[in-house]
Amino acid sequence: MSKKLFAAALLAGLSVVATPVLAEGLKFLPILESGYKAEPTLAVSAGVMQASAGRDQSMAVYGLELSMNCGLVQTADNRIRTHLALNRVDQSGLKATALELSPRYTVPLGGGFSFGAGPALAWVKADAERGDKDLFGYGAAAGVAYRSGHYFSGIDLRYLNTDRREAVGLENWTLAVKLGVNF
């Protein structure tokens, strides 16, 4: 039941954000345009994951994230940023590595701060003491970021649900802080 409510709330929230975006128009494949600027950011992340991998538990999670202006689809005012993250958990008998992709619509808040939210897709290699399993994950991510020159910091909250294979699944919530460099 909570997954259905979460999905409904996410879709309602995205529709409120997406309506003005679609009214402005979208650019497809802006990476091919001569004025495209990726404005990449590379950051390390650390946080806590609340997972239900057969038993509810909190675990430390760490990783590396690359974010940039989306090169596939973009708003007229460049508000979609693509986040590509590699995260790792190795605690309490659970080992998992996740490669996550999260395009986020970003709203500037002023003073170098911004807020972004969007869907998340992931490939997770998980081993919960039952052998390695490749899992597909989906969910949503939101975060606040601060950028000033080359300095970057942020905090993210992400929900990820995975399919189950042979009793291995990794539904989880993650709260992480990020510190990095803008290029």
Q: Specify the pLDDT at position 53.
A: 55
pLDDT tens digits in sequence order for the chain, 183 residues long: 456 555 555 555 555 555 555 556 889 999 999 989 999 999 999 999 987 755 567 889 999 999 999 999 999 888 999 999 999 998 877 788 999 999 999 999 999 999 999 999 999 988 867 667 888 999 999 999 999 999 999 999 999 998 765 656 678 899 999 999 999
d(C-alpha 143, C-alpha 130), whole Å:
33
d(C-alpha 164, C-alpha 171), whole Å:
9
| Residue type at position 15 | S
CA distance between the termini of the chain:
43
Q: Specify the pLDDT at position 133.
A: 80
Q: Which helix (H) or strand (E) segment is 4 a member of?
A: helix 2-24
For residue 122, count other CB atoms closer than 10 A to its CB.
21
Lookup result for tokens 């042979």: 166
Q: Specify the pLDDT at position 1.
A: 47
Number of domains in the chain: 1
Where in the sequence is the domain holding 151, given as residue range(s)? 2-182
- CATH number of the domain at 68, please: 2.40.160.20
Answer yes or no: pTM beyond 0.85: no
Kindly report the backbone phi and psi dihedral angles of residue 152, in degrees, each rounded to the nearest multiple of 5, phi listed first. Answer: -140, 135
Q: Which two tokens stand for residue 69?
A: 């202006």
